[in-house]
Structure 1
Amino acid sequence: MKKLSLITIVLLCVLFSKAQDFKKYDKGSFIKGKDSIYYRILFPENFDASKKYPVIFFLHGSGERGNDNEKQLVHGGKLFLKDDLRKKFPAIVIFPQCPANDFWANINFSTTDKGKNRISFIEGGKPTKIMHALTGMVKDFLKKPFVDKKQVYVGGLSMGGMGTFELLRRKRNTFAAAFSICGGDNTNNIKKYQTIPLWIFHGAKDDVVDPAFSIAIAERLKVVGDEVKFSLYPKDNHNSWDSAFAEPELLPWLFSHKRN
C-alpha cells in the first residue's frame, strides 16, 4: 500500500508540475465577424513591448481538437518551455485550437474496410472554417508593434502538419521558414510555397498518415524548391514528433531564417 501511495503521489506531482508549466501560456481568442478561434500564447521571459520578437504558430493534431483551449499544448507545449531555448530564442509562441468538428486542411478523409485511413488532399479549394479564422488571426496578430515580421514561422504535426502546408500557401508572403511533422499535401500546391525553407519529418512505419505524402513533397521540393530538409525516421510510427522535437537543430535552423 505504501508503494502504491508513493507512486500516486509522484504521478500527482508530475501532473501538477505540468499543469503549472502550461499556465505560462496565456489564454487568448480572435473573434471577428463569423471567425472565431481560441489559442494559448507564450511570451518571452522579461517581455518588453517596445522590442520586436519572432513569432511561431504551432498547429496541433486531430486528437487535440476541442474547445477547452488546453489540449493543443499536449504535444510541443513543453518544447517551448525549456529554459535554455527560451533564453537562446526569445520568441512569442502561439498554439491555436481547432474545434472537434473541423480540420486545419482541406482534405477528403475516409477509412477502408480494414480500418486504414484513406486521405486525399485538395488542390486549391476554399479554406475550411477554422483555416479561414486562422488566417484572419495570423493577419491580425502580425499588426502588433512587438512582432518582427521578418521572423514569422509555422509548424505542426499530423493534421497540423497538413495545416502547415495549407497555411503556407494561403499566406505565402508571411513566413520565413516552417516545419511539418507527419503531414501531407497535394503536390500540385507546392508551387505556392516552394520558396519557403521547409523541414519535413515523418516516421517510415507511420500507419496513420502515409509517409509517402511527405516523401513526395520533399522530392518535389528538392527539384523546384529553394531549401528543403527531410528527416525520415526508420523506426518511428505516427508519433515521429517525439524524434522531431528531440532534434537539437530544429529551433536553431528555424530561427536562423529571416524574410527579406
Structure 2
Amino acid sequence: MKKIILTICILFSVLFLNAQDFKKYDKGSFIKGKDSIYYRVLFPENFNPEQKYPLVIFLHGSGERGNDNASQLVHGGKLFLKNDVRKNFPAIVVFPQCPANDFWANINIDKDAKGKRKLSFVEGGKPTKIMHALQGMIKDFLKKPYVNREQVYVGGLSMGGMGTYELLRRERHKFAAAIAICGGDNTNNIEKYKKTPLWIFHGAKDDVVDPALSIAIAERLKTVGKEVKFTLYPTANHNSWDSAFAEPELLPWLFSHKK
C-alpha cells in the first residue's frame, strides 16, 4: 500500500512539475475576421525585443486537438524547455492548437475493406479553416521586429507532420528548413516544397500512419529536392517522435539553415 501511495505521489509531482514548466509558454491568440487560432509561445531567456530571433512553429497531432490551449504541448513542449536547448538555440517557439473538429491538412479519411483507416491527400485545393488561420498567425508573427525572417522553421508530428507538408507548399518561400514526423502528403505536391531542406522521420512499425507515405516522399525528394534527410526507426510504432526528439543533431541541423 505504501508503495502504491508513493507511486501516486511521484506521478502527481511529475505532472505538477510539467505543468509548472509549461507555464513558461505564454498564452496567445490570433483573431482576424473569420480566422481565429490559439497558441502557446516560448520566448528566449533574457528576451530582448531589440534583437532578432529564429521562429519555430510546431504542429501537434490529432490527439492533442481541442480548445484548452494546453494539450498541444504534450509532445515536443519539453524539448524546447531543456536548459541546453534554451542556451544554445534561443528562439521564439510557437505551438498553435487545432480545434477538435478540424484538421491541419486537407485530407480525406476513409476505411478499407478490413476497417483500417485510409488516408488520401488532396492535391492543391483550399486550406482547411484552421490552416487558413495558421497562415494568418504566421504572417502576423513575421511582422514583428524581433523575428528573424531568415530563420523561420516548421515541424510537426502525425496530423502535424501532414500539416507541415501542406504549410510548406502553401507558404513555400517562408521556411528555411522543416521536420516532418510520421506524416504524409500527396507526392504530386512535392514540387512546391522541393527547395526546402527537410528531415523526415517515421517508425517502420507504425500502424496508425503508414510509413510508406514518408518513404514515398523521401524517395521522390531525393531525386528532385534540394536537401532531404530520412530516418526510419525499425522498431518504432506511431510514437516515432520520441526517437526524433532524442536525435542529438535534430536542432543543430534545423537551426543551421537560413534563407
**TM band (smaller chain):** over 0.9
Name the structure 1 match of 2:205. Answer: 205
Name the structure 1 match of 2:224. Answer: 224
Distance 1:8 1:159 in 2: 32
Which digits, 9 at most, give the CA deviation of each residue in 1:170-228, with x for residues without a partner? 11110000000000000110010000000000011111111111001000000000000
With the length of structure 2 as denominator, give the TM-score of the two structures: 0.99
Distance 1:28 1:208 in 2: 31
Distance 2:75 2:96 in 1: 13
Distance 1:115 1:180 in 2: 26
How far the C-alpha of 1:16 sits from its partner, in A, is 0.5
**Identity in percent:** 78
Distance 1:193 1:28 in 2: 29
Name the structure 2 match of 1:23. Answer: 23
Name the structure 1 match of 2:81. Answer: 81
Structure 2 stretches lacking a partner, 5+ long: none
Distance 1:219 1:28 in 2: 38
Distance 2:67 2:84 in 1: 31
Which digits, 9 at most, give the CA deviation of each residue in 1:3-46, with x for residues without a partner? 22211211111111000000000000000000000000000000
User: RMSD of the alignment, in Å?
Assistant: 0.7
Name the structure 2 match of 1:242. Answer: 242
Distance 2:251 2:197 in 1: 13
With the length of structure 1 as denominator, give the TM-score of the two structures: 0.98
- Alignment partner of 1:172 is 2:166: no
How far the C-alpha of 1:113 sits from its partner, in A, is 4.5
Name the structure 2 match of 1:133. Answer: 133
> Aligned letter for 2:249?
E
Distance 1:56 1:115 in 2: 37
Matches within 5 A, 1:136-175: 136-175=136-175
> Aligned letter for 1:40?
R
Structure 1 stretches lacking a partner, 5+ long: none
